[in-house]
């Protein structure tokens, strides 16, 4: 097999290796998949304004997230059912994240439990939470995550109902029989029934709470001391409300373009959300990051860090733990190179002036910068 030289190449390898139902589940987006393509395409409309003749012999990519020091602003997003990609699943991902000195977010719908992931060894881990109709289930799960040493909750807020993913409907998607939603096993919510559309859509309709609202964000703060990141914000209005509700941070996300189609790419919504948060809480980006240049662009637009989702499951399917490690390393190396070639020696030196977007005022219309 030829050497993998970039993150995107893992998708083709995963497609060849995985059963169609599994690959389609990971790869597809909602409906026309317009946002799925746009999550990538929008990055290509942002260009660099590199600064030259700066000593870039030493580059520091370290940063802090909610007070935790990490090696780079590149973290792992929550993705469901990782054992469907590789037998080691979330264990492999957890070890890769820890080795890279970064944060892993474990999905509620993981095929390994919070306790099992904690047992892989040290590491900073966040827990992604879906709010079930039965709040006792939620409280129990949050308590278990906290006991297992998880450091924050990423509350997914864009899924009162599951988006229409037509590949899953065609495939009658259901979790393979040898796998369960490990966090819910003891609660009799660990199995997903075959349905005449998508088994996951039926599961969500039956179990996930459609009444979820801002008051529940406040309720969550009464049952845990873990900080809460609101995942799935795309507007300035909701950024302001997140601050008011006591969120510790925001993840700008369109759920990997799997929920509402024709929402903007997350990189296009980022600046609006950053302005809405007014510097009061950090804003992170999730969706479409495949290159170190993408990471830089997100930070230039005000993100404090980014999360990768599909690259993790595709590299996991291709090469297990080694694949995930390689994805993190490639993104790190590319990001370091982008920083050097842009004239930035630390995260704080990355500014809005290092990029130009198609929604910027044409520079000719601005007064010339004083030199």
Over range 33-54, report the average pLDDT. 98
Q: How far apart are CA 204 and CA 159, in angstroms?
A: 9
Band of pLDDT at residue 14, cut at 50, 70 and 90: very high
Residue 257 per-residue DSSP state: G
User: Helices 236-244 and 266-277, interaxial angle, to 10°?
Assistant: 40
Say how far apart CA 320 and CA 241 lie, in whole Å. Answer: 40
Per-residue pLDDT band at 185 (split at 50, 70, 90): confident
The pLDDT tens digits of the residues spanning 55-82 come to: 999 999 999 999 999 999 999 999 999 9
165 annotated binding-site participant: yes
Looking at residue 133, what is its pLDDT? 87
Residue 52 has pLDDT above 70, yes or no: yes
Residue-wise pLDDT tens digits, 305-361: 999 999 999 999 999 999 999 999 999 999 999 999 999 999 999 999 999 999 898
Q: What is the pLDDT of residue 73?
A: 98
- Is residue 111 a known part of a binding site? no
| 107 labelled binding-site residue | yes
pLDDT at 361: 80
Residue 199's pLDDT band (boundaries 50, 70, 90)? low
Q: Examine the pLDDT at 198 and tell me if it is beyond 60.
A: no
Q: pLDDT over 70 for what percent of the chain?
A: 93
pLDDT score for 204: 62
What's the Cα-to-Cα distance from 351 to each of 87, 151, 308, rounded to whole Å? 42, 29, 22
Confidence at residue 367, expressed as pLDDT on a 0 to 100 scale: 60
Residue 366 clears pLDDT 60, i.e. is over it? no
Give the chain's radius of gyration (CA, Å): 20
Residues β-bridged to residue 60: 346
Average pLDDT over residues 198-206: 67
Q: If pLDDT is split at 50, 70 and 90, which confidence band does 201 have?
A: low
141-152 pLDDT per residue, tens: 999 999 999 999
Q: What are the tens digits of pLDDT across the range 107-166?
A: 999 999 999 999 999 999 999 999 998 899 999 999 999 999 999 999 999 998 989 999
Catalytic residue among 151, 255, 291, 332: 255
pTM of the full predicted structure? 0.94
Over the chain, what is the mean pLDDT?
Answer: 93
Two tokens at 221?
């703060």
The residue that leads in pLDDT, 149 or 184, is 149
User: Is 255 among the catalytic positions?
Assistant: yes
The pLDDT tens digits for 280-313 are 999 999 999 999 999 999 999 999 999 999 999 9
Structure tokens at 315: 């590299």
Report residue 193's pLDDT band, with 50, 70 and 90 as the boundaries. low
Query: What is the per-residue pLDDT for 57?
Result: 98
Q: Which residues pair with 356 in a beta bridge?
A: 47
Q: How far is the first Cα of the chain from the last one, in angstroms, to the nearest whole number?
A: 52
Residue 310, annotated ligand binder?
yes
Residue 345 annotated in ligand binding: no
């Amino acid at each position: 097999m030829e050497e993998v030289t970039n993150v995107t190449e893992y998708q083709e390898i995963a497609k060849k290796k995985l059963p169609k139902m599994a690959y389609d589940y990971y790869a597809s987006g909602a409906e026309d998949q317009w946002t799925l393509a746009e999550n990538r395409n929008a990055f290509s409309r942002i260009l660099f304004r590199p600064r030259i003749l700066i000593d870039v012999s030493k580059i520091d990519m370290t940063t802090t997230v909610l007070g935790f020091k990490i090696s780079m602003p590149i973290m792992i997003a929550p993705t469901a059912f990782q054992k469907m990609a590789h037998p080691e699943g979330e264990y492999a991902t957890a070890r890769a994240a820890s080795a890279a000195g970064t944060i892993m977010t474990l999905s509620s719908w993981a095929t390994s439990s919070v306790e099992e992931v904690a047992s892989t060894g040290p590491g900073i881990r966040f827990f992604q939470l879906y709010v079930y109709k039965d709040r006792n289930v939620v409280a129990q799960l949050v308590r278990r995550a906290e006991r297992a040493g998880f450091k924050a909750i990423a509350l997914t807020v864009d899924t009162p109902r599951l988006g229409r993913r037509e590949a899953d409907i065609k495939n009658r998607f259901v979790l393979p029989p040898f796998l369960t939603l490990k966090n819910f096993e003891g609660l009799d919510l660990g199995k997903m029934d075959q349905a005449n559309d998508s088994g996951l859509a039926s599961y969500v309709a039956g179990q996930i709470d459609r009444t979820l609202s801002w008051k529940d964000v406040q309720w969550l703060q009464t049952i845990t001391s873990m900080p809460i990141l609101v995942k799935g914000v795309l507007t300035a209005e909701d950024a302001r409300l997140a601050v008011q509700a006591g969120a510790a941070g925001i993840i700008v996300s369109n759920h990997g373009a799997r929920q509402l189609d024709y929402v903007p790419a997350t990189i296009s919504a980022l600046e609006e959300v950053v302005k809405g948060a007014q510097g009061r809480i950090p804003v992170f980006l999730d969706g479409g990051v495949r290159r170190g240049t993408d990471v830089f662009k997100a930070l230039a637009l005000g993100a404090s860090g980014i999360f990768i989702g599909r690259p993790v499951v595709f590299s996991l399917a291709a090469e297990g733990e080694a694949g995930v490690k390689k994805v993190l390393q490639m993104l790190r190396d590319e990001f370091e190179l982008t920083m050097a070639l842009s004239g930035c020696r630390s995260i704080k030196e990355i500014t809005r002036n290092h990029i130009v977007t198609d929604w910027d005022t044409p520079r000719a219309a601005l007064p010339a910068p004083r030199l």
